[in-house]
Structure 1
Amino acid sequence: MSLAVLTLAVAALDGAATASAAHHPRAARIVAGPGHPAPVFAVDWPTYHRDNTRHGTAPGLPRVGALSVAWRAPLDGAVYGQPLVIGGRVIAATEHDTVYALSVASGTVQWSTNLGSPVPLSSLPCGNIDPLGITGTPVYDPDTGRVFVVAETNGGNHDLVGVNVTTGAVEVRVPVEPPMGDPLAHQQRGALTLLGGRVYVPYGGLLGDCGSYIGSVVSVRTDGSGPVQSYAVPTTREGGIWAPAGGVVDQDRLLFAVGNGESSTAFDGSDSVLALSPELGRVDFFAPSTWADDNARDLDLGSASPTLVGPYVLTAGKRGTGYVLRHDSLGGVGGEVAQASMCRSFGGSAVDDDGTVYLPCTDGTRAIAVDAAGSPTVRWHAAVAARGSPAVGGGAVWVVDYDAGTLYALDPASGQVLAQVAVGTAPHFASPTLARQRAFVGTMAGVTAVNGA
């Protein structure tokens, strides 16, 4: 089953999981038997923003009411990736390289699995996460019953690990090093994508853009067998693929936003939106006509993932300009359908059922409408300067002010605050999970669950 088009099942996950811990030498590829399928329901959240469109919309969520904290689960490190919800379990992965299954109802730990020792900041050439372990949002595969994460371990190793969602047992562990540059200079921050029985892993650099890194995407079969496939941005350095939403699936293609490279003379494939085939060949791209200036001034387009909206793609980055592209022909350099001043955008957008895009902005969410001709209009600017990545459900737009530690529910018609609750300081670009009548937020201390969603 591909998460590009979720197949919703009708039976329930049951049974309590037991604690499990596993760490394997990475010298050998390990495939420890087949996993067991476990269904995904409409009320679940198996990947970043729920499905491979990354629209971040929760169907059937009750209308938002007064918000209150249902529970807080302190874990062994910060939760940078968006929590997943599968059946009665909240799956959270920490910067201490531990994967947890928590009870949706109570936050009680059902199992936890540690995957190794994370990289201390003192061992990195630059950066701002200490320690550096699991940063990108995991993905769940209902065909095998495995949750996949990328664990960075001491020495700068990157392993794709498949963990049984019921028991926490490690069933697959495969090295997935970026194809070019120094592995220690790469950070895996973008969400993992599951498509066609493969997991796709994007790589960018560390905060500070130090060292020899080149943006890339690596893919591996979910059973760990066969060759590792990869794509690297054709630049001499940088061009990171790090936006938190990761790859966006558009029919049979994966769209990725790319950060700035070093060239300001010859176009080097950076500062762009890429369309990659499932085999990771580049089949299309867009870059703004300002790409050289963007590269020179660190105004990369790759700070936010592209957004599918009808027949178009909306993309915006650090410059503050939003570009509308045709999804089936991205346009190459300067080939946008339209552009407009929007905001400096970091993270992942959400899209309502009516096609309104809720854009994450450094000074507060914007609601963007794209008409039939591809012309974008800013409908409203949120009343609060929450900078997190929005999600939609229950008649509200949900956004985290991660520095202040507040979750807001905004009116989708005006951007005014409907409700708010303190959840605890969260990582940059944090996005709430909306599932099973609650909101779940990964924080610097663990996970907070909120009633009223």
Structure 2
Amino acid sequence: MRRAVSSHRSRVATAILLLVAVVLVAGCDDAAEPDPADWTTYHHDNSRAGLAPELAALGTLSKAWAARLDGAVYGQPLVVADRVFAATENDSVYALDARSGRTVWSTHVGTPMRLWQLPCGNIDPLGITGTMVYDPATTLLFALAETTGGRHVLVSLDAATGQVRQRRAAEPPAGDRLAHQQRGALSLVNGRIYIPYGALSGDCGRYLGTVVALPTTGPAGPVSYHVPTTRQGGIWAPGGGVLVGDRLLYATGNGESTTAYDGSDSVIALALDDLTLLDRFTPPTWAEDNSSDADLGSMTPALVGGYVYANGKRGVGYTLRPGHLGGIGGQVHQTYVCPTFGAAAVSGRTAYVPCIDGPRAVDVDAGGRITVGWQAVVSGGGSPAIGGGVVWVVDTTAGILSPLDPATGVVRQRIPVGEVHRFASPTLARGHAYVGTMTGVVAIAGA
């Protein structure tokens, strides 16, 4: 009898331990998931939809604060709980109080490149350009810093303190490293950081559109993919990679060849584990695009109504099937929309596209057919975001943030934010809109 009781107690104890372990594991998994009210990567999440689901309507807008930092902020600010994270072209990373803009910590992670040290370009100094990413599993913040000597260094920082945890080389494996510029947003998927590379303004030197992947922690070396052209094919649109199932989609720029297809001017799908090329779409006009610098790679692909929507400098919009991009000329539908630079914002079957002469609403129906809707009277081509019942866009010429009516494109308000770069896109989180400027970060709140 005692043996039976003992055995029963042992089974109960084992069951309790297993239950506790399950609860702890579940709790860890929950803790590793980002809060939907936060903005932990470019355009909120790996779909790059630019949709802030938790943002309430802000009402009458006004400037809440402006934080002056040590350089221009090209990447989107990130927001986690009560902190705003921003990186500058002076190779500094900041944590700001989301309510006041006060600096909580700042860390200088390297010495940026000066324009006179580069073969061409238009950013001076050149430090951290691509949007950072925050990892809730490790509470680390990741930034790609360009530093003296043309080095590209992946830096991870403790988000609570700003302490640097690791520095790792993340060099493109082919071409001239001085000719590569890192503008596209970093992606975090399954414990890996994915880093896209394009070129300096002016397309000088031998660069190749490249993606490099490194684990979030540990000594493992990088894996990489580069466009199989002799030169160019840059991956430079600010949104970086778009996650679709077990693959990342990137848009590539024009290559050198105008005779034999060279893998450039395309939407490509790369495997998450080893960055193997799985699929691609290439416009039938690729040779003309290559010869006239009319590449598809100027806008990050968008996921719209079950299709991939691609658009670039030529101005033609294409819909593609996510599971089979179609190869050369394999689009579902195409129509002229507008030349685009940046990244679209998406809600359902509608993409708000960053046209150079003002954003347009583009609808994609169940069959993949594209219909062009309204055009907003906003210049400069800033990349939109969606939240609080409106579409937000920065007039990058005038330095003005405007919420637009999503049904008509009518501008509801105009709020000056100061000088910004041409790809500026607002971050929408925790009851504010945050914009990176040429001098720091501006926060907009509603009454």
TM-score w.r.t. length of structure 1: 0.91
Map of 2:13 onto structure 1: none
C-alpha distance in 1 between matches for 2:42 and 2:155: 17
Alignment of 1:129-278 (within 5 A): 129-278=123-272
SS in 2 for 1:378: strand
Q: CA RMSD in A?
A: 1.6
What displacement does 1:428 show? 1.4
**Mapped pair 1:290 → 2:285:** yes
Q: Aligned residue for 2:97?
A: 103
8 Å Cα contact 1:390-1:398 kept in structure 2: yes
Preserved contact between residue 257 and residue 273 of structure 1 (Cα < 8 Å)? yes
With structure 2 as the length reference, what TM-score do the two structures score? 0.92
Are 2:302 and 1:307 equivalent residues in the alignment?
yes
2:41 to 40, 47, 50: 47
Following superposition, the deviation at residue 166 of structure 1 comes to 0.2
Structure 1 residue identity aligned to 2:337: M
* Structure 2 segments unaligned to the other structure (5+ residues): 1-25
Query: Displacement of 1:66 after TM fit?
Result: 1.3
Aligned partner of 1:391 in structure 2 is: 385
User: Distance in 2 between the 1:42 and 1:284 partners?
Assistant: 31
Deviation string, structure 1 residues 130-163 (Cα, Å, up to 9, x no partner): 0000000000011100010000001100000111
Residue type of the alignment partner of 1:75: L
1:186 partner letter: H
Deviation at 1:432, TM superposition (A): 0.1
What CA distance in whole angstroms lies between the structure 2 residues aligned with 1:324 and 1:91?
35
Does the CA-based 8 Å contact 1:8-1:41 persist in structure 2?
A: no
Matched length: 421
Q: Which amino acid aligns with 1:402?
A: T
Give the distance between the partners of 2:248 and 2:417, measured in 1 at CA: 33
Q: CA deviation at 1:227?
A: 2.1
Distance 1:52 1:254 in 2: 9
Amino acid at match of 1:248: V
Deviation at 1:383, TM superposition (A): 2.4
Assess if the C-alpha contact under 8 Å between 1:317 and 1:346 holds in 2.
yes
Amino acid at match of 1:228: P
**Identity of matched residues, %:** 59
Which structure has the bigger radius of gyration?
Answer: 2
Paired residue for 2:338? Answer: 343
CA distance, structure 2, for counterparts of residue 368 and residue 8 of structure 1 = 41
Runs of 4+ in 1 over 4 A off after TM superposition: 7-11
Contact 2:42–2:239 (8 Å) recurs in 1 = yes
171 and 434 in structure 1: CA distance in 2 versus 1, 3 angstrom threshold = same
- Equivalent in the alignment of 1:414: 408
Q: Which SS does the other structure have where 1:417 is aligned? A: coil
Counterpart in the other structure of 2:4: none
Q: State the Cα deviation string for residues 210-243 of structure 1 (Å, max 9, x = none).
A: 0111110000000042121000100000000000
Deviation at 1:452, TM superposition (A): 1.9
Shift of 1:38: 7.1
Contact 1:95–1:135 under 8 Å retained in 2: yes
Between the aligned partners of 1:288 and 1:237, the Cα distance in structure 2 is 19
Distance 1:335 1:315 in 2: 12
Conserved in 2, the CA contact under 8 Å of 1:9 and 1:41? Answer: no
